[in-house]
Structure 1
Amino acid sequence: MQVSGYLRLSVALALATIALKTGAWWVSGSVSLLSDALESFVNLAGAVFALVMVAIAERPPDEGHPYGHHKAEYFSSGFEGVLIIAAALAIVWAAVQRLLMPQALDALGWGMALSLLATALNAALAWAMLKKARAARSIALEADARHLFTDVYTSAGVVLGLVAVGLTGWLWLDPVVAMLVAANIMREGGRMVWRSVEGLMDRAVEPEVRAQIDEVLDGFAHHAVRFDHVVTRRAAQRRFVDLHMHMPASWSLGRAAALRTSVEQALMDAVPGLRASIQLLPMDAEAAA
């Protein structure tokens, strides 16, 4: 299944979990279950936005965007992070009101059962999405998967808090659990926003990818050829490397170009999705900075 297919499933599941968790809050009156339901609305908005951004990211390069549209996925991750933070603030507001005016909880068993059903569905989809995101190197899909995992942890915490309320009768535990839930999802939202910012600032490729690039270059380097000024960056699924390749000034242009083509092909074979830009220079020359 393609990345967009998983995001469509995420949209459908968000609608289903909204119904289940809203029902859980309705029958129980628990503000922590309400906080869980509010986060599901964020899931829906995030999944829809991610689906739109992935469609944009998949567009081929054009005159206005010669390097492609891959960075659109970072906007998806950042937007979802902002939504998570907004939901956390709404949860805190509702929890403070309930802490000031405690309210008895009803039908906790039904409420927890509906919440656990939604949690199981979210966990299954989040696991499948994260696996696909790593294979496809899709930050938008990974952000949505991690958001769903946050929802799973949130729901588990809510249910444990409600069990404690049922056992102790301490109604203040319900809003306190909601506040803890809000703090957790706010932390995750902040991480997603920061990761998107780093991506938009052309962060270098991952250490393991850089190691693959260096290994390929080492395989071509010898007394007549050397590489330097190796610079990398990543844009969602795409990876880029720019470097200088020095060779004897006596070599013909055809020989130098043939070697460059071999190096580029070896780099792309080692790192799928990589785009290499190699500048040819004579051995005793350095390009201007």
Structure 2
Amino acid sequence: MEWLHIAVLALIQGVTEFLPISSSGHLLLPAALLGWEDQGLAFDVAVHVGTLLAVVTYFRNSLWEMGRDWLGQVSGQRQATEHSRLAWFVIMATVPTALAGLLLDSLIETHLRTTLVLATTTIVFGLALGWADWRGARVHSLMDMTWKAALIVGLAQMLALIPGTSRSGITITAALLLGFTRHDAARFSFLLSVPIIALSGGYKALQLWLQSDGAPWGDLLMGAALAGLSAFVCIHYFMQYISRIGMQPFVVYRLLLGGVLLWVALS
């Protein structure tokens, strides 16, 4: 791959992985508009590693507390805490998507990875995000999370298997409809991304290993680094400003992106 292709695709992945605007829709555009070749499985694995390192680094304190207290509770050395409960909620919300991904991966790759599907889901779930942001009560914090709420968010996350939905977008939408604040809806969504990105990246890495092709390590390291840095900056500013700016700018952007994708699909 040319360095410009690597830089553009890695930055797109890093920024759009966590914003509620659909990374798959953006990654389609360079190929559709500029005629670029598919980046390949190895590059997908690299940028997934980069974004995973970014979110783990940003939430390292929370993840450490969750892991420590969860392991302590499981081993019987600690009583349940808010951190161990949050860890259980993340696990509970991850299971439906992990199972659905294993069962439906080939179906989705064969029938749903089209530009028309991307355009439709980008628009439809963008409107859903706007509705949730407008109608949500925004009164609950993660301290108020229950197993029912976690399961609902986890079931909503399954929809992100459909290209164009946006994993962060649909989980934030569900949390907002359940009455969580914008900040805590985003925080829970980002914590949920850790096991999902790890599982997705691990599955792709296994596929890559089975193919046993030589890897262009320089390209992959550059892609991982750029994706990780851009993702970290994106998470930082999103968490700082989301309570003030709300979701409507992302809704407008999704509608514009969906319009462009629709034009590409029908042209």
Q: TM-score, normalised by structure 1?
A: 0.25
- Hey, which of these two has a bigger chunk of helix by percent? 2
Q: TM-score, normalised by structure 2?
A: 0.27
- Hey, which of these two has a bigger chunk of strand by percent? 1
| Rg larger for | 1
Higher relative contact order (CA 8 A, sep 6+): 2
